[in-house]
């Protein structure tokens, strides 16, 4: 764990990487036919995922009279959930906390020091591990990790302003429509062609690696999802479920879940819940989202201190941050080093903010009771 001074330097370094302040979004912006054509694959995957969910349900219905069909439904659902959550970990743990915020670092474990002795060998090891992490992260079909990190860093610098890529609050205020705000923050921004490419000026720490840049092109970032889809197809054949059934139910359905669980943080985590800290934007702590996002529901905490590896602060919150629990395990195995862990003063500050919020709510309640409301 680094000192608070080192943390400030690291945070300043990440902030400097964000890049230009050019306005990249206009409220109520129209989606043209070419935008739809460009991102038609997104609609196609969602459609195939819906077919996959229907297929799973149909197998369960048929399972009332046919045990093999019941087995098929259970197998498809199990593979769907496994594929959803292992990929969600690579979204939350690596796309988000590692590549976007550098909240932890890879390291050569002590038990490999006898093999990896020279600085050159250590550099090759670390770059190789990072490449594998980037490759596995692309299995979620959300493009390359540099594209993802570039846009996410931009979001943090301009959160809920006109320059934010996916602000619910700004679009709702400008258009006067709750649903337009939700639609834009949840999915519409993905369809805008101007966000097709990453701004590499925002990610100099990542673009210097050619192996990561490889995943920025379709031939790179589509390898992992194609291989995963093929694996599901052949697994379905091996289990006697059927290749196409497992492809739709195990792969496409889980991909749609991974998409929208990720998008929930862009939309719902800025719409509902409570803000523990005044961060100057509309991020919220939304506990129920932790069930879908492996701990990303502590979103206001995250915007308060985005370099922290944990998004939960209080000890009673930390167990709900499953991503952080896995990162802690990796640290215990000496595979990673966490950059910043919440201190006792951070925990005390969080409790103080919670107590202040409770006092404010009680005072308002007494006012309403006194007024006879």
**How far does Cα 180 stand from its chain's mean position?**
22
Q: Is 129 within 8 Å of 106 (Cβ atoms)?
A: yes
Tokens of 341: 């862990």
Q: How many domains does the chain have?
A: 2
Q: Report the pLDDT value the prediction gives residue 371, as an integer from 0 to 100.
A: 74
> In terms of Cα–Cα distance, which of 154, 156, 135, 140 is closest to 91?
140
pLDDT score recorded for residue 19: 33
User: Which residue range(s) make up the domain with 266?
Assistant: 4-341
Measured at the CA of 277, the angle between CA 276 and CA 278, to 5 degrees, comes to 130
The DSSP code for 296 is T
Query: pLDDT digits over 149-162, tens only?
Result: 999 999 999 999 99
Cβ burial 120-157 (10 Å sphere, 16+ → b, else e): eeeeebeeeebbebbbbbbbbbbbbbbbbbbbbbbbbb
Q: Give the model confidence (pLDDT) of 116-142 as tens digits.
A: 999 999 999 999 999 999 999 999 999
Separation of alpha carbons 74 and 67, rounded Å: 11
Element (H, E) at 243: helix 243-246
Task: Decide: 164 and 16 in contact? Cβ < 8 Å.
Answer: no
Residues 99 and 20 in one domain: yes
pLDDT band at 17 (very low <50, low <70, confident <90, very high): very low
* Distance set, CA 294 to CA 31, 269, 313 (Å): 32, 14, 15
Average pLDDT over residues 159-182: 92
333 lies in the same domain as 347: no
Residues in the chain: 373
Judgement on whether residues 222 and 349 belong to the same structural domain of the protein: no
Q: How far is CA 105 from CA 108, 144, 200, 373, in A?
A: 10, 19, 21, 54
Question: Cβ atoms within 10 A of the Cβ of 170, count?
Answer: 24
Residues 6+ apart with CB under 8 A from 140: 87, 88, 90, 91, 95, 225, 255, 258, 259, 262
Write the CB contacts of 277 (distance below 8 Å, at least 6 apart in sequence): 300, 301, 303, 304, 353
Identify whether residues 292 and 329 lie together within a single domain.
yes
pLDDT of residue 8: 47
pLDDT for 101 = 97
Q: What is the DSSP letter of 285?
A: B
- Residue 159 shares a structural domain with residue 208: yes
Q: Judge whether residue 40 has pLDDT over 80.
A: no
Mean pLDDT of the chain: 89
SS3 2: coil
Q: Residue 27 and residue 175: Cα distance in Å, rounded?
A: 7
pLDDT tens sequence across 257-293: 999 999 999 999 999 999 999 999 999 999 999 999 9
211-220 pLDDT tens trace: 999 999 878 9
Give the whole-angstrom CA distance, residue 363 versus residue 62. 57
Structure tokens at 2: 């680094």
* Pairwise CA distance, residues 192 & 329, whole Å: 39
Q: How confident is the model at residue 20 (pLDDT cuts 50, 70, 90)?
A: very low
* pLDDT for position 370: 77
Bridge partners (DSSP) of residue 285 are 274, 298
Kindly state whether residues 223 and 288 are assigned to the same domain. Answer: yes
In this structure, are 103 and 189 located in the same domain? yes
Question: With 70 as the cut, is the pLDDT of residue 70 above it?
Answer: yes
| Domain co-membership, 252 together with 332 | yes
Judgement on whether residues 137 and 95 belong to the same structural domain of the protein? yes
Does 27 lie in the same domain as 82? yes
Indicate whether 167 and 201 sit together in one domain: yes
Q: Which residue has the higher pLDDT, 26 or 252?
A: 252
| Residues 308-330: tens digit of each pLDDT | 999 999 999 999 999 999 999 99
pTM as predicted = 0.88
Per-residue model confidence (pLDDT) at position 193: 75
User: 321 and 348 in one domain?
Assistant: no
Is the distance from CB of 230 to CB of 160 less than 8 angstroms? Answer: no
């Amino acid at each position: 764990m680094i000192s608070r001074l080192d943390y400030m330097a690291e945070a300043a370094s990440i902030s400097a990487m964000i890049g230009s302040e050019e306005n990249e979004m206009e409220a109520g912006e129209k989606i043209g036919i070419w935008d739809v054509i460009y991102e038609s694959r997104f609609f196609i995957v969602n459609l195939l995922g819906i077919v996959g969910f229907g297929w799973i349900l149909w197998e369960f219905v048929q399972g009332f009279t046919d045990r093999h069909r019941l087995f098929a439904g259970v197998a498809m659902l199990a593979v769907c959930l496994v594929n959803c959550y292992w990929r969600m970990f690579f979204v939350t743990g690596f796309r988000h906390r590692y590549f976007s915020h550098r909240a932890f670092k890879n390291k050569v474990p002590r038990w490999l020091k006898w093999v990896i002795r020279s600085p050159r060998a250590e550099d090759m090891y670390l770059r190789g591990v990072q490449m594998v992490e980037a490759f596995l992260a692309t299995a979620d079909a959300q493009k390359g990790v540099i594209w993802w990190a570039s846009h996410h860093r931009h979001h943090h610098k301009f959160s809920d302003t006109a320059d934010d890529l996916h602000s619910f609050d700004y679009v709702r205020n400008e258009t006067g429509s709750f649903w337009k705000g939700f639609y834009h923050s949840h999915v519409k921004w993905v369809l805008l062609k101007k966000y097709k490419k990453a701004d590499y000026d925002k990610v100099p720490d990542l673009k210097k690696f050619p192996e990561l840049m490889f995943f920025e092109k379709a031939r790179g970032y589509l390898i992992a999802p194609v291989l995963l889809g093929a694996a599901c197809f052949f697994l379905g054949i091996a289990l006697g479920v059927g290749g196409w059934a497992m492809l739709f139910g195990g792969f496409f359905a889980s991909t749609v879940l991974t998409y929208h669980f990720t998008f929930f943080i862009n939309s719902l985590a800025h719409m509902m819940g409570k803000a523990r800290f005044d961060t100057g934007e509309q991020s919220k702590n939304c506990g129920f989202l932790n069930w879908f996002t492996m701990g990303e529901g502590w979103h206001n905490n995250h915007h308060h201190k985005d370099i922290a590896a944990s998004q939960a602060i209080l000890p009673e919150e930390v167990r709900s941050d499953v991503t952080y629990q896995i990162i802690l395990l990796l640290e215990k195995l000496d595979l990673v080093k966490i950059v910043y862990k919440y201190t006792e003063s951070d925990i005390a500050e969080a409790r103080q903010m919670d107590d202040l919020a409770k006092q404010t709510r009680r005072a308002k309640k007494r006012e309403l009771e006194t007024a006879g409301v």
